Amino acid sequence: MKRIYGILVFLLLTGFLVSNCSKPDVWEMNRWYVQTGRYKDDEIRAFSIWCKVLEEEKLQKICDYYFDKFAEDDRYLQIDFYDDRNFTPDYSNGIKFTKQQGQHILAKFFYNPYKDTKRLEMLK
């Protein structure tokens, strides 16, 4: 009985430690960006994001997070990264931005589920 109790405690502690190991990455990512808008229709899901950190490696981690959470088999996924909060549009009513806002796009991520291709394109 003591052995079973010991195994259960070990499993609970291991599960607790493993589940908490991924959280610092999410906390760290929250310092890297702010999602300012999202859009979804039958064909696409899109996000507008203001980047606080302009490093390709970190942008890729953000893309991976959004891909894991939101990618679908029958809908495109688009993430537009902006370098200035004041020029980051809200995509709530569609993927629309002014010419001035478009000049602040730092990078774009696009996933095509029909060809199973995804890419991050750095624009600056």
Per-residue model confidence as pLDDT tens digits over 27-78: 677 788 999 999 999 999 999 999 998 899 999 999 999 999 999 999 999 9
The band of 108, judged by pLDDT with boundaries at 50, 70 and 90, is very high
Other beta carbons within 10 angstroms of residue 60's beta carbon come to: 14
Q: With CA atoms as reference, report the closest residue to 49 among 58, 117, 41.
A: 58
| 95-105 confidence digits (pLDDT tens) | 999 999 999 99
Report pTM. Answer: 0.77
